[in-house]
Amino acid sequence: METPWEHRYAHRTQRMASSVIRELLKLTEQPDIISFAGGLPAPEVFPVKEFTEACNVVLRDLGAQALQYGSTDGYRPLREMIAEHSVRYGIDVTSDNIMITSGSQQALDFIGRVFINRGDHILVESPTYLGALQAWNAYGAEYISVPSDENGMNTDLLENALRSGPKFIYILPNFQNPSGVTLSLERRKQLVKLADQYGVPIIEDDPYGQLRFEGEHLSPVVVLDNQFRSGNGSYAGNVIYLSTFSKILAPGIRLAWIIAPKEVIQKLVIAKQGADLHTSTFNQMVAYEVGKTGFLDEHVKIIRQTYSERRNIMLETMEEFFPSEVHWTHPQGGMFLWGILPEGMDAADVLKIAVKRKVAFVIGGPFHPNGGGENTMRLNFSYSNPETIREGISRLGFVLKELIANGK
């Protein structure tokens, strides 16, 4: 029977398909499946005790304020704490350049709302973060994609893409979701230079930057851009920088931040007023209470240690069980690695069999906005414990060997 809503959906909903990732996450709800599909942090590292204490302190000392409406740009002490942290990492900003959002996902949506007109071209690396595509599709974005390799977006191919006049460049420089690769310093500099030459601003999405297990810290694109433009490193405003508490504290509190020039913050604040007025005051105050004495610096060390062990186990087990025709990335941090199947093999076929054998991953195709990548797969190593990783990877290796032997 026809419902009264059927013909009333806005045009924008035509491109609002549910993300493949969300659909696949449903698979993880089967209790006996080993899932490398979701992008979930390890639950074992959530600082439950610190949260319990912080909740108590906030309610005891600032209860009425915590339960009241708050300002749209966010709780000032939290924004000041983030500004101090940013300055330590070379991003020379004040709290006036910072707005708190309910997750970086919301920041991506607001960026779409504030900047994207129907038909605008956004320059992205391919593969790129599916959540950004999902947010921006609703605003009618089209994508110019630049392929990436083990050193991130191939900036040799960037100039050509820039000639078509994109609205902005969207880049994930550290341990990228989905591929796990990191943009090299040389390419970061080239990106900044070309963006300047073509007058195109950059959105830098950096949820994983602090989760490096090996290799040297590389300056964020925003820092290199500031050095390039202002000489003294003060914030030049060409890069909007996003980061989140989801991967360094807990995703359930839905707390992230956006660094932008003040005039952009003003627009974003208006977008946020229309969306949710402000991010939960209570959550912001609790996160500030947890973080204010430097707890996060110690806590990220534990996360790095845990994820590095899990990545190592995954890599070792892949080496042991995967057929030699399959290749994969070696991420220096973050939560994901990327499998590359032989040309012509479809990861969706692998997934169908894998799910029957009770192991899941995310197929790589949907992360490529203009198609391709059917032979790729994303594997998450942060969520499962080492034994589960071993068992899951050995099952997956078995499936892959079987399919390759059968010429699939």
Check: CB of residue 41 under 8 Å from CB of residue 163.
no
Considering only CA atoms, which of 242, 272, 244 is closest in space to residue 259?
A: 242
Nearer to ligand PLP, 38 or 397 (CB): 38
Residue choice 251, 291, 366, 397 for contact with ligand PLP (CB under 6 A): 251
Q: Which residue is nearest to ligand PLP (CB)?
A: 103
Q: Which of residues 118-147 bind ligand PLP (CB under 6 A)?
A: 129, 131
Considering only CA atoms, which of 362, 356, 375 is closest in space to residue 40?
A: 362
What whole-number distance in Å separates Cα of residue 211 and Cα of residue 331?
Answer: 11
Structure tokens at 63: 């209860």
What whole-number distance in Å separates Cα of residue 201 and Cα of residue 192?
Answer: 9
Mode of pairing for the β-strands spanning 359-360 and 152-153: unpaired
What whole-number distance in Å separates Cα of residue 39 and Cα of residue 246?
Answer: 11
205 touching ligand PLP, by CB under 6 A: yes
172 touching ligand PLP, by CB under 6 A: yes
Q: Which residues, 6+ apart, have CB-to-CB distance to 342 below 8 Å?
A: 325, 326, 375, 404
Nearer to ligand PLP, 138 or 353 (CB): 138
Considering only CA atoms, which of 130, 165, 163, 161 is closest in space to residue 147?
A: 161
CA 383 to centroid of chain Cα atoms: 15
Q: What is the DSSP string of 327-384?
A: EE---SBSSEEEEEPPTT--HHHHHHHHHHTTEE-EESGGG-TTS--TTEEEEE-SSS
Least separation, in Å, of the C-beta of 241 and ligand PLP? Answer: 12
Least separation, in Å, of the C-beta of 313 and ligand PLP? Answer: 22
Least separation, in Å, of the C-beta of 112 and ligand PLP? Answer: 13
366 touching ligand PLP, by CB under 6 A: no
Least separation, in Å, of the C-beta of 111 and ligand PLP? Answer: 11
Nearer to ligand PLP, 207 or 237 (CB): 207
Distances (CA, A) of 228 to 73, 111, 239: 29, 24, 12
Point out which span in 7-15, 243-251, 321-329, 338-346 binds ligand PLP (CB under 6 A).
243-251
Nearer to ligand PLP, 35 or 317 (CB): 35
- Per-residue interface string for the shown chain with ligand PLP, residues 85-104, x marking contact by CB under 6 A: ------------------xx
Nearer to ligand PLP, 207 or 365 (CB): 207
182 touching ligand PLP, by CB under 6 A: no
Residue choice 97, 105, 179, 317 for contact with ligand PLP (CB under 6 A): 105
Judged on CB neighbours under 10 Å (0-12, 13-18, 19+), 117 is exposed
Least separation, in Å, of the C-beta of 281 and ligand PLP? Answer: 18
Least separation, in Å, of the C-beta of 207 and ligand PLP? Answer: 5
What whole-number distance in Å separates Cα of residue 267 and Cα of residue 277?
Answer: 13
Q: Which of residues 22-41 bind ligand PLP (CB under 6 A)?
A: 39
Report how many residues bind ligand PLP under the rule CB under 6 A.
14
User: What is residue 175's three-state secondary structure?
Assistant: coil
166 touching ligand PLP, by CB under 6 A: no
Judged on CB neighbours under 10 Å (0-12, 13-18, 19+), 211 is buried
Least separation, in Å, of the C-beta of 335 and ligand PLP? Answer: 8
Nearer to ligand PLP, 104 or 332 (CB): 104
Binding site for ligand PLP (CB under 6 A): 39, 103-105, 129, 131, 172, 177, 205, 207, 244, 246, 251, 256
